[in-house]
Chain A
Amino acid sequence: NAGVTQTPKFQVLKTGQSMTLQCAQDMNHNSMYWYQQDPGMGLRLIYYSASEGTTDKGEVPNGYNVSRLNKREFSLRLESAAPSQTSVYFCASSDTQRGFAGELFFGEGSRLTVL
């Protein structure tokens, strides 16, 4: 039982390049999330998907797009990477309870550097 799996774990991009971070969970959770963590900071919500077929903006959505491919998979895309997007990206999932997010479970993170 792998839990939440993110790929790639490390990536270096040049300014203007695009890339997609992949996330998959095997816990049959309804909801999935992408968070950003800058050095020495807390986590900020980029986008979330409360259920398959829906996506919504979080606190810092600008510069990102997401796709909920199916119940298991939720991807994050950077269309034109900027140095300000150098960060660690975490995917999470939860079993929605009575309309609330419930307990979040995180992947190991993807460290992105934009030169």
Chain B
Amino acid sequence: GIQVEQSPPDLILQEGANSTLRCNFSDSVNNLQWFHQNPWGQLINLFYIPSGTKQNGRLSATTVATERYSLLYISSSQTTDSGVYFCAVERGGGFKTIFGAGTRLFVKA
């Protein structure tokens, strides 16, 4: 099956710093999503981005489907950005959205 690798596995930032999270996938995909799991365990949709670039406030994402990777940019990080960021992909026609292991982010005040 398709493999999804996220890097780095852990990241500690000082409040105000910028960061880039990466998601590599081993095969072509039809869908790609980024989620934030907050410290209370809730999964929050960040981006639905099979290709191209999207921005939402301090967050933006880029997926280059032909090269099988996606990047999530966090600018001017805040303590509320702490949590785990997951990348999830779906191959065509299978309805099976597969998750990476996540990047655990801690933002220090």
Chain A residues with CB under 8 Å of chain B are 31, 33, 35, 41-45, 48, 50, 56, 58-59, 88, 90, 96, 99-106, 108-109
**When the two chains form their complex, are residues B88 and A108 in contact, meaning their CB atoms are under 8 A apart?**
no
- Is the CB of B102 closer than 8 A to any CB of chain A? yes
- Using an 8 Å CB-CB cutoff, how does the interface string of B79-106 with A read, 1 for contact, 0 for none? 0000000101010110111111110000
Can you report 23 A-B residue pairs in the complex whose CB atoms are below 8 A from each other?
A: A33-B97, A42-B86, A42-B99, A42-B101, A42-B102, A43-B86, A43-B88, A45-B97, A50-B95, A59-B1, A59-B98, A100-B31, A100-B95, A101-B31, A101-B90, A101-B95, A101-B96, A101-B97, A103-B31, A104-B33, A104-B45, A106-B42, A108-B42
Most buried by B among A88, A99, A100, A109: A100
Q: What A residues does B98 contact at CB under 8 A?
A: 45, 59
Interface positions, chain B 24-48, Cβ under 8 Å from A, are: 30-31, 33, 35, 41-43, 45, 48
Given that A43-B86, A108-B41 are known contacts, is A103 also in contact with B96, CB under 8 Å in the complex? no
- Chain A residue at minimal CB-CB distance from B50: A100
How far is B102's CA from A105's CA once the two chains are assembled, in angstroms?
18
Given that A42-B99, A109-B41 are known contacts, is A100 also in contact with B93, CB under 8 Å in the complex? yes
How far is B101's CA from A88's CA once the two chains are assembled, in angstroms?
15
Most buried by A among B35, B92, B96: B96
What 3 pairs across the A-B complex have the smallest Cβ distances?
A42-B99, A106-B43, A103-B48
A56 to chain B, nearest CB (A): 7
**When the two chains form their complex, are residues B101 and A99 in contact, meaning their CB atoms are under 8 A apart?**
no
How far is B93's CA from A101's CA once the two chains are assembled, in angstroms?
8
Given that A42-B100, A42-B101, A101-B90 are known contacts, is A48 also in contact with B95, CB under 8 Å in the complex? yes
Most buried by A among B33, B45, B95: B95
Given that A100-B31, A103-B45, A104-B88 are known contacts, is A43 also in contact with B96, CB under 8 Å in the complex? no
How far is B45's CA from A33's CA once the two chains are assembled, in angstroms?
16
Q: What A residues does B45 contact at CB under 8 A?
A: 103-105
- Chain B residue at minimal CB-CB distance from A49: B95
